[in-house]
Structure 1
C-alpha cells in the first residue's frame, strides 16, 4: 500500500499535464551509459540541414531556399551545417558529433503516418510490426531498476511501446495540485485494481522528476531530460519527440526556427548532464526527407533521403558519413528526391549497440528482425 508519507514525497512536484510538443520518453536500466533518440516528426529537410554546397546542382534546385554557406559552418569540402545549429557545430569541431547523409528507413512512399510507423517499429512495411525498436532495445540491456520505461508525454510513442512496462510524466503549466487533493485521489484509486498501479507508477515518475517548475520550451525540456538522465537511479534510455518539420511553405524561416530550438534543447541537455555527457549518445532522425527541388510556395514536399545526426561525449565525431549519390536529375530517386544510399536501421542498430556496450549484430537482429538482414554501422562510438 502507498503510505501517505511516501505519496506526499513522490507527489511533491505537483500535478502534471499533457505536453503539446516536444515529448520525452525514458527507460531505466542497469547500465551507466545513456542513449537518447530524438525523432523529427514531419520529414526534416536534410539537404538544408547538412548542406551539400559542393554539389553543383544544389543551388539551382533550391533557388531562393539555398542556404548561404558563407554563414554556415563548413564541415568539410562538400558539406556545411545550417547556421541555426551553431552549438551543434561546436560539438562537431570538438569531435563529438557526426552526420550521416542520404539516409532513410526501408519505407519508400511519402505518408507521414506510414513512414513514422516503419521508423519506430523497425519493420519493412507500415503496421507489419506491433511494438517499437526502442522497447526491444530496453530488453537487450538486461535487468532494470523500477519501472522499465517512463514517458514524459500523454501517451508512450510507438518506438517505446511493447513488453516493457511504461509510465508517463508531463510537466504542467497549471498550478500544482494540493497535497490534500492528491491524497484523496490516491485513496480513491487504492481499491481500484486497474487504476491503482497506474496511479502509483505515475506518482513515482513525478517524484523522480522532482521539478514543479518544469516548462516546455526547448532549454527547459533539455534541462528536464538531463535531470532524469543524470540521476544515479534514473533512466538510461530516452526518446524526445519534436514536431513541425513538415515545411511545404515558408521553409527558410520555419526550418531555421526548428533547428534553433533543436540546437538549444541539445545544448541544454549537454550542459545539464555535466560529466555524464561523456557516457551519452544522442541520435536525431526523421521519417523521410524532402524533395530536392523547391516547390512553388517557398518550401519542399515529401521526399526520400535525409540526414541523421549522432552526438555525445562518447561519439567518434568530427566527420560526415556519406556515399553521396549526387543531385543531377539522373541521380535523383524517381527524378525528384535525394536517393537513399545509407540505411537508417543500420545506423540505429550500430549507434544503440555501441552506445550501450551491446553486440551490434545481436542488437540489429533483435531490433530489426522483420526488416531482413541489417548490417549495423560500426565505429560510431569511441571505445
Structure 2
C-alpha cells in the first residue's frame, strides 16, 4: 500500500475538524455470497435542516410555514423535483443525478430516540446507538464490526497504514481495529471539535487535556473563540472560506473513497463534517445552508469518482444528530429541532425514492408545536443497512449494536 496522501503532525491533531476512520476486515458471509460490500458513514455535526434540504412542496402547509424562504418548484432558484410531493435543494445536482439513476434515496422525518436539543448529547446518542447520552465508550459502527465474522486479523504490514485522526468519533470507538487519516488542509477547529478533543484527552491524556483547555480559555479571553461556522473560519487570500470548505469536504470524502476502493483497503469507514448549526442567515436556495449542501454534494461526487468500480457495492449513509425548527427564527435562521432527513447513496442503494411516513406541517402536527415530527427511527434505517448490506444478524443488531432496540425493526429493501 502506498504512503498516506499527507503527513500528520501533532499540531494537525489539535486543529482538525473531521477525519476518516476505517476498518480493514471484511465479513465472511459477504465474501461467501460473492460480494465485496463497502459502507461509509458521513456525520453532519450541528443538525441539518431537513426541510431546507428536501422540501415537502406538496404539503399545503409548507409555504404558509416559511413563506418566501420556502424552497419551491417555481421559486427564483427552483427546487429539483424528486416525486409529486418532495423536492431537493438545487445546491445538490449530483445527489439529484444519483437519485434519478436509482443510486440514492432519502429518508424524511427521521430522528434518533433523543428528544432534547443539545448538540453534544444528540451526537452522543447518534454515534453510540443507545437511547441516552454518556452511557458507553463505544459506537454502533464499531460494535457492528465486532459482530461480523471476518476473514481473519488485520495485517499491520498490509492495509494498516496508520495515521492519527483529529478526533476519533464515538461511532467508531471500541474493540474493532481502526485506522485514521487527517487531511493536511484542515478547517479551523469548531467549538464542538474542541469539546470532543477535551473529552477524548480527559480519558487518554489528562496532561494534554489540561494544556488544551488552558489554551482554549486564553483564546476565548482574546476573542478568538471557537469557529462553529466553517464558512467564516480561517479565511486566507489564497482561498476564500466557501472554496476551502468545498475543497476540504471533497478531499476528505475522496480520500475515504480511495481507501475503500483498494483491494487491500478497508471496507467500512466514517467521517464527520462540521458547520450545520444554521441559527443565522440560513437561506434556502442560496445562503449558508445552500453553500454547505453544495459542499456535501461535491463530497458525494468525490466518493463516487474515487471509488470507481467499487461504487456499485457501496452504501454511503449521511446522518445528523437532529433537525431544526420548522419555522424561521428572528435572525433568518432555524434553531435546534427534532425530525430531519438522512441521505443514502451508492451503487448498492435501492434508490430513486423518498421514504417517509409524512406527519404534516400544520401546527397541531408539529412536534411540540415547533419541529418536524419524527416518524421513522433512524436506528431502523441503520439496522436495515447493516443487516442487508454487511450481513450483521438481527440478534446482534437488537442487543449489542443498538442495545434494547428489539422493538425497532430494520427497514427492508434499502439496498438493491
TM-score tier (shorter)? 0.7 to 0.9
- Residue 258 (structure 2) aligns with: 227
CA distance in 2, matches of 1:12, 1:270: 19
- 8 Å CA contact 2:183, 2:248 repeated in 1: no
Structure 2 partner of 1:336: 370
**Matched residue of 1:108: which SS?**
coil
Corresponding position: 1:113 with 2:113:
no
Alignment deviations for residues 161-204 of structure 1 (CA, whole Å, 9 cap, x no partner)? 11123343223249xxxxxxxxxxxxxxxxxxx9xxxxxxxxxx
2:278 matched to which residue of 1?
247
Q: For 1:75 and 1:151, how far apart are their aligned partners in 2?
A: 40
Secondary structure in structure 1 of the residue aligned to 2:318: strand
Correspondence for 1:84: 91
Q: What is the aligned partner in structure 2 of residue 197 from structure 1?
A: none
Q: 1:145 aligns with which of 148, 154, 165?
A: 154
SS of 1:37's partner is strand
Answer whether contact 1:365 1:374 (CA < 8 A) is retained. Answer: no
Q: Report the equivalent of 1:69.
A: 73
- Please show how residues 226-305 of structure 1 align to structure 2 within 5 Å: 226-252=257-283, 253-305=287-339
Residues 259 and 152 (structure 1), Cα distance of their counterparts in 2 relative to 1, 3 Å cut: farther
- 1:331-377 CA distance string (max 9 Å, x none): 01111111110000110111122121333454343311144532111
Deviation at 1:10, TM superposition (A): 5.0
Deviations 1:250-271 (A, max 9, x none): 1011100110000001101101
Equivalent in the alignment of 1:322: 356
Instruction: Give the 3-state SS of the residue equivalent to 1:251 in structure 2.
Output: coil
Q: Does 1:38 align with 2:42?
A: yes
Among 164, 175, 191, which residue is 1:163 paired with?
A: 175
Structure 2 unpaired stretches of 5+: 28-35, 187-203, 205-245
Question: How far has the Cα of 1:155 moved from its partner?
Answer: 2.5
Q: Is the 8 A contact 1:129 1:370 kept in 2?
A: no
Instruction: Using the TM superposition, give the Cα deviation of residue 13 of structure 1 relative to its aligned residue in structure 2, in angstroms.
Output: 5.4
Match of 1:26 in 2: 22
Greater CA drift, 372-381 or 72-81: 372-381
Could you list the per-position Cα deviations for residues 68-89 of structure 1 after superposition, in whole angstroms to 9, with x for gaps in the alignment?
3232211111100110110000
In the alignment, the residues of structure 2 paired with residue 159 and residue 69 of structure 1 have an alpha-carbon distance, to the nearest angstrom, of 37
Q: Specify every segment of 5 or more residues in structure 1 that has no aligned partner in the other structure, as ranges.
A: 1-5, 175-193, 195-214
Q: Is the contact between residue 24 and residue 152 of structure 1 (CA under 8 Å) also seen in structure 2? A: no
> Residues 45-103 of structure 1: CA distance to partner in whole angstroms, max 9, x if unpaired?
00111110111111121124211323221111110011011000000000011111110
Decide whether the 8 Å contact of 1:29 with 1:142 is kept in 2: no
Q: Could you tell me how far apart the structure 2 residues matched to 1:146 and 1:172 are? A: 26
Give the deviation of 1:21 after TM superposition.
3.3
Aligned to 1:35, what secondary structure does the other structure show?
A: strand
| Counterpart Cα distance in 2 of 1:345 and 1:166 | 23
Residue 154 of structure 1 deviates from its aligned partner by 1.4
Tell me how far apart the structure 2 counterparts of residues 60 and 292 of structure 1 sit (CA, whole Å): 11
Structure 2 length-normalised TM: 0.76
1:346 to 358, 367, 380: 380
1:18-56 per-residue CA deviation (whole Å, 9 max, x = no partner) reads 363342211111242101111111010001111101111
Q: Secondary structure at the match of 1:55?
A: coil
Kindly tell me the number of residue pairs found equivalent between the two proteins: 337
SS at match of 1:59: helix
Could you say if the C-alpha distance between residues 274 and 101 of structure 1 is closer, same or farther in structure 2, counting changes exceeding 3 Å? same
Q: 1:151 to 1:284 in 2, by over 3 A?
A: farther
- Relative to structure 1, the CA distance from residue 93 to residue 102 in structure 2 (aligned partners, 3 Å threshold; closer, same or farther) is same
Whether the aligned pair in 2 keeps the contact of 1:21 and 1:242 (CA below 8 Å) is: yes
Counterpart in 1 of 2:232?
Answer: none
Distance 1:171 1:154 in 2: 9
- CA deviation after TM superposition for structure 1 residue 127, in Å: 1.2
Aligned pairs (5 A) from 1:42-61: 42-61=46-65
Residue in structure 1 matched with residue 408 of structure 2 by the alignment: 374
Cα 1:121–1:12 shift into 2, 3 Å: closer
| SS class of match (1:222) | helix
